[in-house]
Amino acid sequence: MMKKPFVTKAQVEEIVKNFPTPFYLYDEKGIIENAKAVYEAFSWNKGFKEYFAVKATPNPVLMDILAKQGCGFDCSSETELILTSAVGASGQDIMFSSNDTPAREYVLADKLGAIINLDDFTHIDFLEKTIGKIPETISCRYNPGGVFTMSNQIMDNPGDSKYGMTKDQLFEAFKILKAKGAKKFGIHAFLASNTVTNDYYPQLAGQLFELAVELEKETGADVAFINLSGGVGIPYTPDQEPNDIAKIGQGVHEQYDKILVPAGMGDVAIFTEMGRFMMGPYGALVTKAIHEKHIYKEYIGVDACAVNLMRPAMYGAYHHITVLGKENDPCDYEYDVTGSLCENNDKFAIGRKLPKIDKGDYLFIHDTGAHGYAMGYNYNGKLKCAELLLREDGTVKLIRRAETPKDYFATFDVLDYSAKINRILDN
């Protein structure tokens, strides 16, 4: 399938008159349509809720768009909780799915009334000591160990992951939590990441539904919700078939009717915590070609670098690139597309077939709406870029300004150098 940018070269030429490259651009229309499709796919389940994984795209304007579609938020840190609170979410619209959790974060999550999802058995005690009680609604994260396979293919390796409780611990946890006053229980599991198949959620749901039936039977705990968490993927490469959320919802529905309903558990709510699927395709990093270099390979240097988008450097992740205005040109050149970090892994593409790129061309780096900007860092003292929203009416709104050197140096305010730096910056 051909990947089509959600802006044209002419639109970007207009945008750069106000906002220089590089920048992230998000597509409001795409975000809304997709969120509606998610809710439609699970409309058969009365309590369904998508808790958007804030870590994927922590921007309050984008979060607000999702909140208006009915989404809650999945947080796993203090600042994510603060941001979510600023967007206006509170109480059970917040899921706190953290791990290795500092005490102060449990305190804040409790203050906001968030649903706390315990990552570990030992956290029962830790939570109780920290907030002085066990909340009435509580969730536990499950890790079945081993490998997660689908159609005999290994999808991921839960046995190697740090998250969740073993099955025995989970049963024990429910008993203890119940004895300590918990009334409504949730089960959570995240067993495979970026799955580009319609079968992941249904298979995970089947596993968790059976577990829920067993748990209710053995512990008497009232399972109120089952949280399928994240992991629904997107096709980063043009040859992949996108997930069909309607089919995914239907697949989960079939498992629900097969396992939960006959067990008298037809009132269990389904929760999801998707990040990538909600936002990934609806964000792009737009960057300009500023240099070309001809040595043993052909290089195009752009004005963004791994600080703006770390996934290629970190995971060797593929992100499709469209050279705007050259959508229909033959891809008869082969380039490494690089950023300016003093790190040889700072490459957005390696040996990529692309049309001839000229200095000044705009590159649209696809599918960076989730885990893109958010993963940014400041290596080499490089600064993070702006985030822009392409609204449904075609206008563009600045939803986060680019960092300036002042931002970068702000934490030196404890030193004498601070005054010197500020003098240099102000000159």
List residues binding ligand PLP (CB under 6 A).
53, 55-56, 74, 97, 190, 193-194, 229-232, 273-277, 370
Nearest approach, Cβ of residue 186 and ligand PLP (Å): 13
**Nearest to ligand PLP of 244, 407 (CB atom):** 244
- Say if CB 269 and CB 72 are below 8 A apart: no
Shortest Cβ 404–ligand PLP spacing (Å)? 30
Which residue's CB is nearer to ligand PLP, number 21 or number 97?
97
Cα separation, 170 vs 252, in Å, equals 23
- Core vs surface per residue 42-60: b (16+ CB within 10 A) or e: beebeebbbbbbbbbbbbb
List Cα–Cα distances, 166 to 145, 162, 173, 228, 340, in angstroms: 7, 11, 10, 17, 45
CB nearer to ligand PLP: pick between 194 and 322: 194
Q: Between residues 38 and 337, which has the closer beta carbon with respect to ligand PLP?
A: 38
Q: In DSSP terms, which residues pair with 270 in a beta bridge?
A: 226
Considering the complex, state which of residue 246 and residue 421 has its C-beta at the smaller distance from ligand PLP: 246
Q: 364: closest CA among 333, 316, 394, 319? A: 319
> What's the min distance (Å) between Cβ of 155 and ligand PLP?
13
Q: Cα–Cα distance between 370 and 184 in angstroms, integer?
A: 31
Residue 273 Cβ vs ligand PLP, minimum distance, rounded to whole Å: 4
Q: How far is the CB of 145 from ligand PLP (least distance, A)?
A: 18
Q: How far is the CB of 322 from ligand PLP (least distance, A)?
A: 23
Compute the CA torsion angle 409, 413, 414, 415 (nearest 10 deg).
Answer: 70
Q: Shortest distance, CB of residue 140 to ligand PLP, whole angstroms?
A: 13
Any idea which residue has 């290596």 for tokens? 379
Q: Which is nearer to ligand PLP, 201 or 256 (CB)?
A: 201
Q: Min. distance of Cβ 144 from ligand PLP in angstroms?
A: 16
When the beta carbons of 203 and 338 are compared against ligand PLP, the nearer one is 203
Nearest approach, Cβ of residue 315 and ligand PLP (Å)? 12
Residue 19 or 318: the one with the smaller Cβ distance to ligand PLP is: 318
How many Å from the N-terminal Cα to the C-terminal Cα in the chain? 52
**Listed residue (337, 322, 303, 364) closest to 21, CA to CA:** 303
Conformation bin of residue 164: beta by default, left when phi > 0, alpha when psi is -120 to 50:
left
CB of 188 to ligand PLP, least distance (A): 7
Region of residue 113 (left: phi > 0; alpha: psi -120 to 50; beta: else):
left
- The residue with its CB nearest to ligand PLP is 230
Q: Would you say 45 or 97 has its CB closer to ligand PLP?
A: 97
- Which one-letter DSSP state was computed for residue 166? -
Distance of CA 346 to the CA centre of its chain: 22
Long-range contacts of 387-391 (CB under 8 A, 24+ apart): 387/23, 387/24, 387/26, 387/59, 388/15, 388/19, 388/23, 388/24, 388/25, 388/26, 389/25, 389/26, 389/28, 389/61, 389/62, 390/6, 390/7, 390/11, 390/25, 390/26, 390/27, 390/28, 390/29, 391/28
70 vs 301, beta carbon nearer ligand PLP: 70
